[in-house]
Amino acid sequence: MNAILIHEVGPRDGLQAEAAVVPTEVKLDWIRRVADSGVDIVQVGSFVRADRMPQMADTDELFRILIRESHHAVLSGLVLNEKGLERTLEVGVPLICMGVSASETHSRKNTGMGTEEATRRIIAIALEGKKAGRKVQVSVQSAFGCGFEGVIDEARIMSIVAAYLEAGLTSISLADTAGHAHPDQVLRYVKKVLALEPAAEVTAHIHDTYGLGMANVYAAMEAGARAIETSFGGLGGCPFTRVAAGNVATEDLVHGLQRAGQRMDIDLAALIGVAEDVATYLGRELPGRVYRTGPIRGMVLS
């Protein structure tokens, strides 16, 4: 198993589900600490309409500040449409993320477009991003099931993946938006993507809605995924799915990897500190485990 990349999505996927709007200065503190902890990518926010998602209203401002600073991690941002791409290019986002939901219902709730239209538009947007010299990641949302539609046909998932690959887009995230994934399914889907394009960089975005989050993450890594998207404290959940639940916690995954002697370069204590501060700020216990239990010290498994 190659060293897995960690893509922290808490500042976007975590905070977008919160009713309260976190002040910019507080977000900056959390983002800076995570970005300097040794994780590889931090998703700062999404370029969406402020009236629809006020939690993300300061995304442009965050990037303008952070892009002038030096951080260990690459900064990423999420876009849904052409206007979002314009904003990312204006503020200099290094890694632009975008995607299509394989669920027709979720796609319309999330973007106002059906899957077929969204696929055409997202591919065009992604190619514009690449043309502008930016790194681009495309995703298949609701890849393992949908809270509204239930099972999504596997051929439908792979047809979106094939469309991405045909367009030359090889950084692909499989997103378990509804948290329906099972480890066998995750293993199979990641392997299928890599069978279509062995050079593809596959990312797994896993939600822990039904308790299989960490098992699904390890299945993705076993199958050859290059990166995992996680959130501080396990915060998060798509507001446009039926049952929203958090991501796998960043510090939980790093703790597990470090017990196996992997990713020892990441400052686990720093991640735990951020999760503790997020929980204190929000005034409630978060889904993550390790920030509450503390790590197991000095035990690297052979």
* Helical (H) or strand (E) element with 195: helix 183-196
CB 289, CB 301: distance < 8 Å: no
Rounded CA gap, 148 and 108, in Å?
12
SS3 at position 296? coil
Owning domain of residue 125: 5-293
Q: Would you say residue 185 lies in a domain?
A: yes
Q: Which residues are catalytic?
A: 238
CA dist 272 → 33, 35, 108, 258, 276 (Å): 11, 13, 37, 14, 6
CA dist 231 → 216, 248, 265 (Å): 15, 6, 18
- How would residue 301 be classed by pLDDT, with cut points 50, 70 and 90? low
> Which CATH number is 286's domain given?
3.20.20.70
pLDDT at position 281, please?
96
Q: Would you say residue 122 lies in a domain?
A: yes
Rounded CA gap, 84 and 86, in Å?
5
Give the pTM. Answer: 0.94
Q: Would you say residue 161 lies in a domain?
A: yes
Number of structural domains the chain divides into: 1
- How would residue 299 be classed by pLDDT, with cut points 50, 70 and 90? low
The predicted-structure confidence for 199-244, as pLDDT tens digits, reads as follows: 999 999 999 989 999 999 999 999 999 999 999 999 986 554 444 5
Q: Would you say residue 298 lies in a domain?
A: no
Q: Would you say residue 299 lies in a domain?
A: no
